[in-house]
Amino acid sequence: MKKVRIALLGLGNVGIGVCIILYSNRKEIMKRSGYEVEIAKILVRDKNKDRDVYIPDGVLTTDFNDILNDDSIKVVVEVMGGIQPSKDYILKCMDKKKHIVTANKMLLATNGDELFQKAESNGVMLQYEASVAGGIPIINGIEESLTANKIKELYGIVNGTTNYILTKMQLDKMDFDTALKQAQEKGYAEADPTSDIEGFDAQYKLAILSSLAFGTKINIDNVYREGITKISSIDIKYAKKFNMVVKMLAIAKDHFGRLELRVHPTMIPNDHPLANVYDSFNAIFIKGNAVGDLMFYGRGAGSLPTGSAVVSDIIAILRKNVDSQSSLPALKNNLWDRKIDDIGKSKGKFYIRITVEDQSGALGKITTIFGKYSISIRSVIQKGEKNSKGGVNIVLITHNTCKEKIDCAVKEINNLESVIAINNIIRIEDFK
Residues annotated within a binding site for L-homoserine: 190
Catalytic positions: 205
Contact flag: residue 15 with ligand NAP (CB under 6 A): yes
Which residues 124-163 are close enough to bind ligand HSE by CB under 6 A?
134, 159-161
Contact flag: residue 15 with ligand HSE (CB under 6 A): no
Query: Pick from 139, 301, 311, 425: which binds ligand HSE (CB under 6 A)?
Result: 301
The separation between CA 296 and the C-alpha centre of its own chain, rounded to angstroms, equals 14
**Sequence-distant (≥ 6) Cβ neighbours of residue 64 within 8 angstroms:** 9, 43, 85, 89
Least separation, in Å, of the C-beta of 249 and ligand NAP? Answer: 19
Residue 311 contact, options ligand HSE, ligand NAP, none, Cβ 5-8 Å cut-off depending on partner type: none
Q: Which residues does residue 428 pair with via DSSP β-bridges, in sequence order?
A: 267, 349
Residue 79 contact, options ligand NAP, ligand HSE, none, Cβ 5-8 Å cut-off depending on partner type: ligand NAP
Residue closest to ligand NAP, measured at CB:
12
Contact 250, 156 (CB under 8 A): yes
**Separation CA 142–CA 148 (nearest Å):** 10
**Separation CA 313–CA 213 (nearest Å):** 20
Contact flag: residue 196 with ligand HSE (CB under 6 A): yes
The contact pattern for ligand HSE, residues 176-195, with x = CB under 6 A and - = no contact, is ------------xxx-----
**Separation CA 133–CA 283 (nearest Å):** 8
Rounded to the nearest 10 degrees, what angle do helices 362-372 and 403-414 cross at?
Answer: 140
Least separation, in Å, of the C-beta of 232 and ligand NAP? Answer: 26
As annotated, the binding site includes 105, 190
Contact 52, 16 (CB under 8 A): yes
Residue 43 contact, options ligand HSE, ligand NAP, none, Cβ 5-8 Å cut-off depending on partner type: ligand NAP
Task: Determine the interface stretch with ligand NAP among 26-34, 45-53, 354-362, 409-417 (rule: CB under 6 A).
Answer: 45-53
Q: Which is nearer to ligand NAP, 60 or 375 (CB)?
A: 60
Contact flag: residue 215 with ligand NAP (CB under 6 A): no
Residue 196 contact, options ligand HSE, ligand NAP, none, Cβ 5-8 Å cut-off depending on partner type: ligand HSE
Contact flag: residue 346 with ligand HSE (CB under 6 A): no
Q: Collapsing DSSP states into helix, strand and coil, what is residue 362?
A: helix
Alpha helices, DSSP H, located in 189-331:
194-197, 200-213, 233-241, 303-319
Q: What is the dihedral of CA 157, 158, 161, 166, to 10 degrees?
A: -10
Q: Which is nearer to ligand NAP, 280 or 418 (CB)?
A: 280
Q: Which is nearer to ligand NAP, 14 or 119 (CB)?
A: 14
**Sequence-distant (≥ 6) Cβ neighbours of residue 188 within 8 angstroms:** 160, 161, 164, 196, 280, 301, 302
Contact flag: residue 81 with ligand NAP (CB under 6 A): yes
* One-letter amino acid of 116: F
Contact flag: residue 44 with ligand NAP (CB under 6 A): yes
As annotated, the binding site for NADPH includes 105
**Sequence-distant (≥ 6) Cβ neighbours of residue 125 within 8 angstroms:** 99, 100, 119, 316, 317, 320, 327, 328
Query: Pick from 85, 257, 361, 390: which binds ligand NAP (CB under 6 A)?
Result: 85
Q: Is the dihedral of CA 257, 263, 267, 270 positive or negative?
A: positive
Q: Which is nearer to ligand NAP, 5 or 87 (CB)?
A: 87
Binding site for ligand NAP (CB under 6 A): 10-15, 43-46, 49, 79-81, 85, 103-105, 130, 134, 187-188, 190-191, 301-302, 306
Binding site for ligand HSE (CB under 6 A): 134, 159-161, 188-190, 196, 201, 300-301
